[in-house]
Structure 1
Amino acid sequence: MPEPVRCRACRSDRGEIVLDLGEQPPWDRMPLRDTPLPDPAAPLRMWLCGACGLAQLADDTDVAEELLGVEPRAFAEQSDRSVDRLAREGLVRPGDRVAEFGSPHGKPWLPRLTGRGMTALTPADAPAGRADLVVDVYGLLHEPDQRDALRRRTALLAPGGTLALQLLSLGTVLRERQWYDLRHGHHAYWSLPALDAALRGYGIGVHRAWWYPLSGGTLLVTARAGAEPDAGTRLLLGAEEGLGVRSAAGLGRLQAAADGADDGDALRAWLVAERAAGRTVAAYGAASRAVPLVCRAGIRADLLLAVGDAAPAKQGRRMPGTDIPVVAPAELAELRPDRVLLFMPELADEVRAVLPGIEADGGRWVVLDPAVRLLGRVAGPRAAGQRTGAHGGLRLPS
C-alpha cells in the first residue's frame, strides 16, 4: 500500500488528488537531439491539503540542475517594477539589510537592491533576526519542505522586518486554467488565502499584494508582524476564495481543462488542421510549462517542426518526451514557418521585435489564450498574400 501523502507545510495527511497528468518526463532533463526515445517519466499529480489549503506536488522525483536560460525582457521589466514598488512603500532604505531567496526564474534582485544602498546578507550565513527585508523571487515553489522553507524565511526577519514574495498565485493557475503549470520540481502552489494563513503561523501576516499581468497574473506580496491586509489585498483574497482555490471542487476544474478539448486536444486538432491546409507550424520558448502541454497532446515533429529558444544551453537538444528539436532563433527563422506558437505569450512583443522576418515573410504568431489565437499582423514588406518558401509548394494565404 503506498504511503499517504503528507502536506509539505502542515504535515496533515488529509487531502486529495485534484489534478493527475499521468506519467510525464521531467522538464529539466532536456535530452540531446540524438538521444533515443522514450525518455524516463514519473507521475505528475497535484494534491490539495484539506487542512491548510496548500496545493502541491503529490510525488517527489529527482530533479536535475535546470539548463541555464536567458532572462526574457518581460521578466526583467517585472523585476524592475517590483523593486520600484517596494521602494515606494519605503521598504528599500539605504543601510538596511536585505537577504534574497532566489530561483532559476530570472536574475536575482540583490543587485537592484544593493544598488539602492541596501546591504546584502546571505541567507545561509546570516544570523537569525537580522534582515530588514527578505525577498523571495519564485523561490518558494522549488522547496520540497515548505514548513522548513517558511521557517527559514521568517526567522531571518529583524523586528519590524518585511518578507516580500513574488509568485504565480494558484488563483491565476485556476482562473486561466493553466493546468500545464504543474511540473516536476515545482513543489508548492500557494494561493493568497492559504499563504496568508500559513504565514500567520510564523508570526507574520500578509499586508499588501499587488497584481501584475506577467504569466497571466503574478503577485508581489509583502508580509510583516502584526499586519492585516489592506483594502486592495482583501479584494484579491476574496477573489481567490471565490474561485475555489482551497476546495477540491474548485481545483477540479484544472483536471477538466487538462482532459477537455480546450487545451491539449484543441492544440493538436489545430496543428492537424494546419498541416492539412498545407501550412507549417513551429513554436518559440522551450519553457517548462510547454512540456506537459506538448506531451499530453502527443505532439511530435511531424506537427511541430521545431521550438526556438534563445538559451544556448537548450539548443541542439529536444523537448522532453518528444522528437521536436530545440533550435536557435535564427534557425527557426530559416525554417520560414507559416505559424509560430508562443508557449510564453508574455514574450510576444520582445520576440516579434527580435524576429521580424517571421511576419515580414508572411508568417503569423499564435498564442493559447486559452484557445488558439492568431496575433494581429505587423506590417512588413511581404506581410500579406501567398508566398513560396524553403519547404516547397504554394503557401496558402492567411
Structure 2
Amino acid sequence: MTDDPTPGTRCRACGGAAGTVVLDLGEQPPWDRMPARDAPLPDPAAPLRMWLCAGCGLAQLQTDAAVAEELHGVEPLAMTEQSDRSVGRLARAGLVRPGGRVAEFGSPHGGSWLPRLTGRGMVALDADAVSAAGRADLVVDFYGLLHEPDQADALARRVALLAPGGTLALQLLSLGTVLRDDQWFDLRHGHYGYWSLPALDAALRRHGLGVHRAWWYPLSGGTVLVTARAGAEPDAGTRRLVDEERALAVTEPSGFARLQAAADDTHLLLDWLVAERAAGRTVAAYGAASRAVPLVCRAGLDASLLAAVGDASPAKQGHRMPGSDVPVVSPDELAGLHPDRVLLFLPELLDEVRAALPQVEASGGRWVVLGPGPRAVEPVSALSGC
C-alpha cells in the first residue's frame, strides 16, 4: 500500500482528495478490447490501481483508461439462475407487483431483469426518459453501477428516478468478498467503483436513502442484492452482513494488506504451467471473462503454456486474450485439443461446463480451479464411485 502516486486524484463518490493506493497491478490492457487473433502484440496498456478514499471509504479505479465497446458474452446458467433468485427475492419483499413501474440500469456484460419483472406484471420505463409524472416504484441496477466513472452522479441519477416511497435495488459483487477471498483479479479497467456495504450505505444516505435490506448469494464468491429506500431500517440479517464487512476493515487500508500479496502470487500459476509443459501435458482454459485478463497478464502467460481459452460467446471466438497470444476458441474447438488440464477461470461454472463438455474428462482430462494455486478437481467418475 502506498500514498497516492498521482496527485490530483479525486474520489468518484465524495470528491475527496485524500486516499491510498491499496492494490497496484502495474500496466494492464483493457479487458474489453479483445484483439483479433492475428493482431500484433503488444496491446495498449495503462496503469491499473485500486485507490481507497480516506473520506468515504469507496475503493475505486484510480485512473481512467480508454475502453472499447465490450464483446458481449453468453449469459451463463449460473447468472441466469441468480437473476431468477434475485427477482424472486424482490417479489417476496413485496417490491414486484402488477402495475408497478420499473426502470433498469443494466450492465454491458449482458442480461436483464426486465423480462422477468414485466412477466410478473410490472410496467417497464425507459431509464433515460422517465418524466417527473411517471417515476419508477422500483429502480433496479444489474451490475451497472461499477461501470460508471462518476459514481456520485450515477447514484444521483438512480435516486432521481424513484417515485416517493420507491425502492432502489442493486446487485453487485461486494468489496467484502474481494477482501475475504483475495479476489484481486476483480480489479480491471472500466470497472470504476468497488462498494462495500458500509460505504454504500453512507453514500446512499447522502442521496436521501439508506441500505434497507441486503441478501448474500454465493455467485462469484459472494454477490449481494441490496435494496435502499428513504427512512431505511435494516433488519437483523442486513445488520449482520454490514457488521461482517466492517470486521474485514473494508473502508480502511489495513483491510487490504493481503490483496497485493495475493496478486503477487501469480507465480504459483506460472510455475504450475511450466511444470505441466515439462511433463508433456497440454493445458487449456475456459472462460474468456473480464476477470481472466488480469490473471493471464499478471502471470505473463502465452500460448506456449496455455494452448487456448474456450468461451461460448461467438463474438469472442477468433480473438485472443488481451496482452497475450493465447487464442479464444469455441467449446468444441477446446474439446478437440484433448487437453490434459482445463483451467477454469470462472469456478462457479464448474457444474455447467463439465456437463456441457463431458469429453474433457471422458478423454482423461481434469478441470482445474485456483485457490490460490491450481487445484485439480476430482473427475465425475471418482465422485460417483464408478
TM-score range, shorter chain: over 0.9
Q: Tell me by how many angstroms 1:2 deviates.
A: 5.0
Counterpart residue number, 2:24: 20
Could you tell me whether the CA contact under 8 Å between 1:76 and 1:106 is conserved in 2? Answer: no
- Note the C-alpha offset of 1:374: 1.2
Kept in 1, the 8 Å contact 2:72–2:110? The answer is no
3-state secondary structure, aligned to 1:379: helix
* Aligned sequence identity (%): 75
Q: What is the match of residue 220 of structure 2?
A: 215
1:186 counterpart letter in structure 2:
H
> 2: distance between equivalents of 1:120 and 1:247?
40
Tell me the equivalent position of 1:66.
70
- Alignment check: 8 A CA contact 2:345 2:369 kept: yes
Q: How is 1:203-242 mapped onto 2 (pairs within 5 angstroms)?
A: 203-242=208-247
> Residues of 2 paired with 1:283 and 1:256: CA distance?
24
CA contact (8 A) 1:360 1:379 kept: no
- Is contact 1:103-1:139 (8 Å) kept? yes
Residue 318 of structure 1 aligns with an amino acid whose one-letter code is: R
Q: Cα deviations across residues 85-120 of structure 1 (Å, max 9, x unaligned)? A: 000110001001000000123411011001100011
Counterpart of 2:188 in structure 1 is 183
Deviation larger for 64-73 or 366-375: 366-375
Moved over 6 A (4+): none
Q: Is contact 2:29-2:46 (8 Å) kept?
A: yes
Q: Which residue of 1 aligns with 2:44?
A: 40
| Equivalent residue, structure 2, for 1:117 | 121
Distance in 2, Cα, partners of 1:257 & 1:68 = 29
CA displacement 1:290-337 (0-9 Å, x = unmatched): 111111111111110000001111111110111100001100000000
Report the 3-state secondary structure (helix = DSSP H, G, I; strand = E; otherwise coil) of the residue aligned with 2:98. Answer: coil
- Counterpart in 1 of 2:151? 146
Q: SS at 2:315's partner residue?
A: coil
**1:393: which partner in 2?**
none
Residue type of the alignment partner of 2:192: H
Instruction: Give 1:392's aligned residue.
Output: none
State the match for 1:135 in structure 2: 140
Query: Given that residues 72 and 109 in structure 2 are in contact (C-alpha distance below 8 angstroms), is that contact kept between their aligned partners in structure 1?
Result: no
Match of 2:198 in 1: 193
Mapped pair 1:9 → 2:43:
no
Normalising by structure 1, what TM-score? 0.93
Is 1:104 paired with 2:108? yes
Secondary structure in 1 aligned to 2:121? coil
Gaps of 5+ in 2: none
Is residue 254 from structure 1 mapped to residue 256 from structure 2 by the alignment? Answer: no
Quick one: which amino acid aligns to residue 71 of structure 1? E
From 207, 217, 226, the counterpart of 1:202 = 207
Q: C-alpha distance in 2, partners of 1:88/1:137?
A: 18
Moved more, 104-113 or 141-150: 104-113
Residue 16 of structure 1, CA deviation = 1.2
- The alignment yields a C-alpha RMSD, in angstroms, of 1.4
Question: Are 1:245 and 2:250 counterparts?
Answer: yes
Partner of 1:390: none
Could you say which residue in structure 2 is the equivalent of 1:396? none
Equivalent pair of 1:75/1:106 in contact (CA under 8 Å): no
Answer whether contact 1:176 1:370 (CA < 8 A) is retained.
no
Provide the residue aligned with 1:53 in structure 2.
57
Count of equivalent residues: 379
Counterpart amino acid of residue 195 in structure 2: W
- Give the 3-state SS of the residue equivalent to 1:233 in structure 2: helix
Q: Which amino acid aligns with 1:224?
A: R
1:41-92 deviation per Cα after TM superposition (whole angstroms, max 9, x unaligned) = 0010000000000000100111110001101010000000000000011000
- State the shift of 1:369 in Å: 2.3
Distance 1:226 1:119 in 2: 25
Which of these residues, 278, 281, 284, is aligned with residue 276 of structure 1? 278
TM-superposed deviation, 1:127: 1.7
The 1:51–1:326 alpha-carbon spacing in structure 2 relative to 1, beyond 3 Å, is same
Query: TM-score normalised to the size of structure 2?
Result: 0.96
Match for 1:114: what amino acid?
Answer: T
Moved more, 273-282 or 179-188: 273-282
Q: Look up the equivalent residue of 1:5 and give its one-letter code.
A: T
Contact 1:307/1:324 (CA < 8 Å) preserved in 2? yes
CA shift, 1:251, in A, is: 1.5
